[in-house]
Amino acid sequence: MSTKWHLLLLVLLLIQAAAYGQVGHPTDSLKTDSLNAGKKKPPRPAEDLSKQFDFSDLTRTILHPHRPPNPMHNRSGITVVPNIAANPTIGGQLGIKAVAGRRLGTDSNTLFSVGATSASITTKGIIYFYINHNIFTPGNKWNLQGNLVVAKTVTPDFGYGIGKALNGGTREDSILGDPNHKGYLIRSYYYNAREKVYKNVAKNLFVGAGLSFEIRRKINLGDTTNNATPSSVYDNRHGFPKDRYSANGFLFNVEYITRDNPNRAYKGIYFDAGVRINQKWIGSTKNSIQVTTDFRKYLSLSPSNPEMVLAFWNWGSYLVSGDIPYLELPGTGRDGTYRSGRGYTSQYFKGTQFNDTELELRFPILANKFLSGVAFGNLQTGNDEHGTKIFQVFQPGYGAGLRVLFNKHTRTNLALDYAYGRFGRKGFFLNLNETF
């Protein structure tokens, strides 16, 4: 075997380890299953995995062709894995991640509590460190979610709005994107501390509340003269300092979840609606109220191939009152997972009112499900401060991609997408698990 194939196999093995390094279940999967904890019900029909082939099977076949497969089992302790990603906003990302998990209490129905930490660097000069946790108390009565982020960021900025050119006026009096879609780089140090507590109140229904502190310091707008960039114009109009801000607020959320798996759902619904209230008396630069909605629906199209799925996603964020900082405006890729609007960089379009709708067809390519494909499209819409209202102008994105099955037991896969947008926008997107 040549050197390049040895290197390729090593990379693939590292990625496979990352997929297996996810301890326990993701958050909303745990919430759904917790509703049945402690109740005697017939077990759910198990998905037939004997005919599926994942990366564990591949590596075992190559490295240990005579070793029988091991049964799946829950892991605990600490696992250290590589942290890789790629998209037009960050470039390529490489880092290291540590994941830990354990079950709290003696009730075997209590779901795993997990924590993770990661440090990474990207080819565009972004340095990112985080710690997060997802803790379930004994009996799954309470769920605590939180994170801490420290980062050096480089944010590409293409102006305010949905891409509709301003009729008349000069560049200096507009915060709309440049007619030629010129980009600006905004550099800053970003700190975020967030904690939410959810309680199960009814079947499939959870309510939660919490706090979030988002702080930016040493912001460099690339503005050598006043009002030379869209962000500088916005800050002047809305009374924000150009070099720093804080967006500190209270969070109130309600969730309804029936989807069968958050990594790769075949059926069901995920819905979250929330209110964020930023307040000066807890350190926010400005007061504001925002409403967010996140709705996802999954429909399996084939009984024999349940992974053939039509998936729908609508995400929106709407400023009700007050002012929010420029870099916190809702927009492309500003959903909770930073994956909406494939085809564009993060916040390529933005406004105080913003909505993104996506449709994706997922289908198997190989009979053993090792390779699958997707085709997708999205429509983004938002407002601006020159008369354009949300749902008046839409900007499309579209593309296709491959999925590589890493862990058939958790439906963990590697997502490789190539997407196109307007104004010459296009790019490659690499992530673990489905976009939504």
Question: What are the tens digits of pLDDT across the range 115-136?
Answer: 788 899 999 899 999 998 878 7
The pLDDT score that the predictor gives to residue 114 is: 72
The pLDDT score that the predictor gives to residue 26 is: 36
DSSP string across 251-262: EEEEEEE--S-S
The pLDDT score that the predictor gives to residue 144 is: 86
User: pLDDT digit string (tens) for 178-207?
Assistant: 556 678 899 999 999 999 998 988 877 889
pLDDT band at 52 (very low <50, low <70, confident <90, very high): confident
Phi/psi for 36 (5° steps) reads: -100, 5
Q: What's the per-residue H, E or C state across 358-406?
A: EEEEEEECCCCCCEEEEEEEEEEEECCCCCCCCCCCEEEEEEEEEEEEE
Residue with tokens 């019900």: 41
Q: Indicate the DSSP class of residue 424.
A: T
Question: Does an H or E element contain 147, and which?
Answer: strand 142-157
| Spatial distance between the Cα atoms of 68 and 384, rounded to a whole number of angstroms | 60
Average pLDDT over residues 419-435: 87
| Spatial distance between the Cα atoms of 324 and 280, rounded to a whole number of angstroms | 12
Which domains does the chain carry?
A: 3-40+47-432 (2.40.160.50)
Phi/psi for 8 (5° steps) reads: -65, -45
pLDDT band at 394 (very low <50, low <70, confident <90, very high): very high
| Spatial distance between the Cα atoms of 417 and 429, rounded to a whole number of angstroms | 5
The pLDDT score that the predictor gives to residue 28 is: 38
pLDDT at 40 over 50: no
User: pLDDT digit string (tens) for 234-276?
Assistant: 999 999 999 999 999 999 999 888 888 778 889 999 899 999 9
The pLDDT score that the predictor gives to residue 177 is: 57
Question: Does an H or E element contain 417, and which?
Answer: strand 412-421
The pLDDT score that the predictor gives to residue 22 is: 36
User: pLDDT digit string (tens) for 352-390?
Assistant: 999 999 999 999 999 888 899 999 999 999 998 888 899
